[in-house]
Each structure stands twice: as structure tokens, then as C-alpha cells.
Homo-oligomer: A and B are copies of this chain.
Amino acid sequence: MILFGEHAVVSGAAALGAAVDLRVGARIEDLPGRLEISAPDLRMDLKGIALDPLTGEVLTKAGEEAAHAARYITAVLKEFGARDLRVTVESEIPPASGLGSSASVVVATLGALSRHLALDMSTEEIAMEAFRIERTVQEGLGSPTDTALAAFGGYRLVEGSARAVDLPEMKLVVGFTGLPHDTRAEVSKVQSFRARRPEIVDPIFRAIGEISRLAPELIREGRLEELGELMNTNHGLLEAVGVGTRELSELVYASRGGGQAFGAKLTGAGGGGCMIALPRPGPGGVLRAMTAIDQARGEPFSVVTGCQGLRIEDPGEVR
């Protein structure tokens, strides 16, 4: 997830991303003469899927969402000419929620394929290849941060290039509005606003970049109240560039209200998707924030930031 800096990072400002403990698992088994892709959590189950042998396009589609996830998985398979396989992808990440599920799916599938085909790719190679594949599927849109976080885990500060930053884990509460969002549309809306009103949007992006640069120190030193304040400020700045929604705002205020959380903001492209809240430490903090989000008709789940990225597990232990 993006903790700070979404949208501004597109124009060169700093952003801070974190891997979270919502995991995507990919398992690959031999299946001579056939290709099966199954991703039940992504509402997708394509048995005997047919790929166009020239373009690699999925010829059998099972609805928009399935096709969406299938595009990423088949793009990975196509890259390595992989056939005669059963690919099973399990995901704890709500699709189209802005939590980088596509990057995680690509990294997991690549990791499993590398192992299955004994390609022995390094995590660096997997991260780079995953970014390339994701950007191809998304026709030029894509962030190397999403795929790097899925591959390496931890935290990454993006400022021009991305670098890992060593920070302690944090408990956050995510609230999903249940509304999908369209990253491409939101990014293009904000960038077009910036083109029309650079004198307004550039200072906003500057303020966002400053927040991203300040945040690592606050996380390192456990200054969570100040971190929450910056989340609130970053949320307002995202509303200012037009990617807030009524539903996101309701979850943000619900989670802040009554002192449940130090701060809250939307995460990702906005226009739908998820918000995150930083609950007060101590017993009940996470539960109070989750309850507030639930009562505001959001779907709450708790996550830990800064977790492990790609790991290879023995068959049967995929998760």
C-alpha cells in the first residue's frame, strides 16, 4: 500500500510505500496438454483456458473481473512460453481496491514459475520483470514501487528512484469502500488538473512530498500521533486534487472519530478503493477503528505494514 505520496509521486514528489501482510500465493503444477488458471479469491476459475498461440490473449473469458486477473497471470506465462500447467493463485487482497493486488499476483506467479522452471531468478530480477509485465498489461501505466514492495517487502521511499528503508512494523486498519476504482482515470484526472492549474497543484504536490520525507523518521521513532496528523493532512491534499469521495470521507472521519485513530487517509489512486487508519496503540485500538469503519458501512481489516515480500515455500504450503 501507499502510505504517503500517491498522485504526487507521478510528478516526481516523494512517496512512501509499505508491504502489508495480505498475501498472494501462487502454485504451479504440471498438467500435460492443458493450461488451467484458477484464482478463486479473484472470482476467477478458468479451466481449460485457451490462449491464442500468437498473441497469448485469453480466448475464454469469464466476465470482466476474471479477465482482469487472467491478463496478469497469462502475461507472465506468455513471457516464458509456459504451457502444460495448472496455475492456482490465492489472494487475501480485495481486487481493484488500490492495494496493489495486480503487482502481487504478478510477483507471486513469477516466483512460482521461476521455481517450477528452475529459472533461478533473483528477487531483484523478479521485481524488475514483474514491473515490466505489469506495465505492459496496463498499457504503459504502472509503478515499480508496487512490484518492488510485493517482491522485497518492507518499506520503500520513492523519490525519482526507490530505495528500501528499514522501519519497524506498524498496525494499520484498512477500510474498503467496496467500490472499485480506476487508477488510470484518477491519475489522468489529477494530471490534467495539474496541467490546467500548475500554480495550485504544484505546491500541493510539494507539501505531499514533504510529508513523505518526514514520515520515515516518525515511524522509526514511534511518533504515531504526529504520523497520524500527517495522514490527515495528506488526505486533505488528496481531496484537494479531486480524488476523494463521499464514501472514503465517511470511513476516514468514522475511524478518526472519538479518538479511535491518530489519523486516517485514503490510500492509492482514490475515487473508490480503500482508506487506512492508524489506530491508537494498546488493547482495543484496532478493534475500535475496525468497528467504526464497519458501522460506516466499510469493510475493515487489520494489517501489519513492513512485512516480508516474496518467499518460496514447499509445495502444499502455498500461502
Residues of A that sit less than 8 Å from B by CB: 193, 197, 199-201, 203-204, 206-207, 210-211, 214, 229-230, 232-242, 244-246, 249-250, 253-254, 256-257
Contacts and interface: CB of A to CB of B under 8 A. Distances in A.
A237 B199 CA distance: 14
A206 B206 CA distance: 11
Q: Which of A200, A210, A232 has the most CB of B within 10 A?
A: A200
B242 A240 contact: no
Counted per complex, copies of this chain come to 2
A210 B204 contact: no
A318 to B, nearest CB: 42
Contacts of A201: 207
B249 A241 contact: no
B240 A207 contact: yes
Nearest to A247: B253
A200 B211 contact: yes
Contacts of A199: 207, 210, 214
A245 B236 CA distance: 11
Nearest to A201: B207
Given A200-B211, A204-B204, A236 B241 contact: yes
